[in-house]
Amino acid sequence: MAYSGRFRAGDRVQLTDAKRRHFTITLTPGESFFTHKGGISHDDIIGQHEGTVVQSHLGGEYLCFRHLLVDHVLSMPRGAAVIYPKDAAQIIVEGDIFPGARVLEAGAGSGAMSMWLLRAVGETGRLISYEVREDHIGYARDNVVEQTGGQPANWDLRLGDLRDVTPEDVGEIDRVVLDMLEPWECLGTVRDVLIPGGVFMTYVATVPQLMKVMEGIRELGCFTEPRAWESLVREWKVEGLATRPEHRMNAHTAFLVWARRLADGTVAPKPQRRARK
């Protein structure tokens, strides 16, 4: 799929009607998409610019744009819950995922975070993704291939348990991202494969998980003092004097935990709190 320019055959296009309902089609010459307001010929869209309006044969109007990656992530088939865009953005930025980075991910789930990581590391980087469930492996592979148009050469998707992984299996790793039920059980592996200064991030949904992974990081003594936070996103309705926050919002999805690998043998200064007056 092209990312810009005029629409081409094979592009995934999102059609939006006046009620902001979305319909996604893959452009195929000679085909038509049928709605309650009549059919839309794919040939009427192919060759047009993004941001144009196409009409169905009954007069319905639909705004046409290519699928963004965020649209694909939120609409693709899932074997496991996905890391939502607001949290994926935090992982990419706070995790400092850079072009050329060597990133280790577990678990791959439905492939949502894999797509963001592959885009961030670029063609010169490498992503190794572990997943313990074979059915989830299938979802992840299919979703990534559908988005990228083929199996990325720098993506190594593996069926296996991260607890069994050794440095010889993956080599030196710049960044580690975990999204699993019990990430504290894999902290030894993270310690062994992550280079000094490397960033470790994990995504956990509940307070007990958060407490256990924070305590586990501290007990190992080879990471900086971990940070934990959550991100909340609330849209606004802006219509003149009716401007106000939306009643619904994307509130808690998960906690994010961040730490960096210390050099071997280093003992970090203990965090000190201000004395109470």
Which CATH number belongs to the domain containing residue 35 in this structure?
3.10.330.20
- Which CATH number fits the domain that encloses residue 156? 3.40.50.150
User: To 5 degrees, how large is the angle CA 258–CA 264–CA 269?
Assistant: 60
In this predicted structure, what is the pLDDT of residue 92?
98
Q: Is residue 273 part of a domain?
A: no
Residue 42 is assigned to a ligand binding site: no
Residues 62 and 157 in one domain: no
Which token pair is 48? Answer: 């047009």
Is the pLDDT score of 267 beyond 90? Answer: no
Same domain for 63 and 80, yes or no, is no
pTM: 0.90
87 in any annotated domain = yes
pLDDT band (50, 70, 90) for residue 23: very high
Q: Are residues 147 and 17 in the same domain?
A: no
What percent of the chain has a predicted confidence (pLDDT) above 90?
84
Residue 163 lies in a domain: yes
Q: How many domains does the chain have?
A: 2
Domain boundary residue among 21, 40, 67?
Answer: 67
| Residue 121 is assigned to a structural domain of this protein | yes
Is 161 marked as binding a ligand? Answer: yes
CA dist 16 → 22, 31, 33, 62, 163 (Å): 5, 19, 13, 5, 45
pLDDT of residue 2 exceeding 80, the answer is: no
57 is in an annotated binding site: no
Q: What are phi and psi of 84, to 5 degrees?
A: -70, 155
Nearest Cα neighbor of 91 from 63, 67, 112, 110 is: 112
State phi, psi for 100 to the nearest 5 degrees. Answer: 95, -5
Say if residue 28's pLDDT is above 90: yes
Say yes or no: 43 and 173 in one domain. no
State the amino acid at position 60 in one-letter form.
G
Residue type, 13: V
Is there a domain that residue 29 lies in? yes
Are residues 149 and 242 part of one domain? Answer: yes
- Is 179 flagged in the annotation as binding? yes
Does residue 228 fall inside a structural domain? yes
Q: What is the pLDDT of residue 122?
A: 97
Model pLDDT for residues 161-216, shown as the tens digit of each residue: 999 999 999 999 999 999 999 999 999 999 999 999 999 999 999 999 999 999 99
Residues 149-153 have a mean pLDDT of 92
pLDDT in tens, 93-147: 999 999 999 999 998 999 999 999 999 999 999 999 999 999 999 999 999 998 8
Give the pLDDT confidence of 80-96 residue by residue, as tens digits: 889 999 999 999 999 99
Same domain, residue pair 91 and 108: yes
Domain containing residue 177:
71-261
**Residues 43 and 127 both lie in one domain:** no
In 10 A of CB 195, how many CB atoms? 13
Same domain, 75 and 141: yes
Q: What angle in degrees, to the nearest 10, is found between the helix axes of 112-121 and 85-94?
A: 40
Does position 269 have pLDDT exceeding 70, yes or no? yes
Residue 1 lies in a domain: no
pLDDT at residue 1, rounded to an integer: 67
Picking from 17-21, 38-42, 256-260, which range would have the lowest pLDDT averaged per residue? 17-21
Of 34, 67, 100, the residue that ends a domain is 67
Residue 216 falls within a domain, yes or no? yes
Residues 208 and 87 in one domain: yes
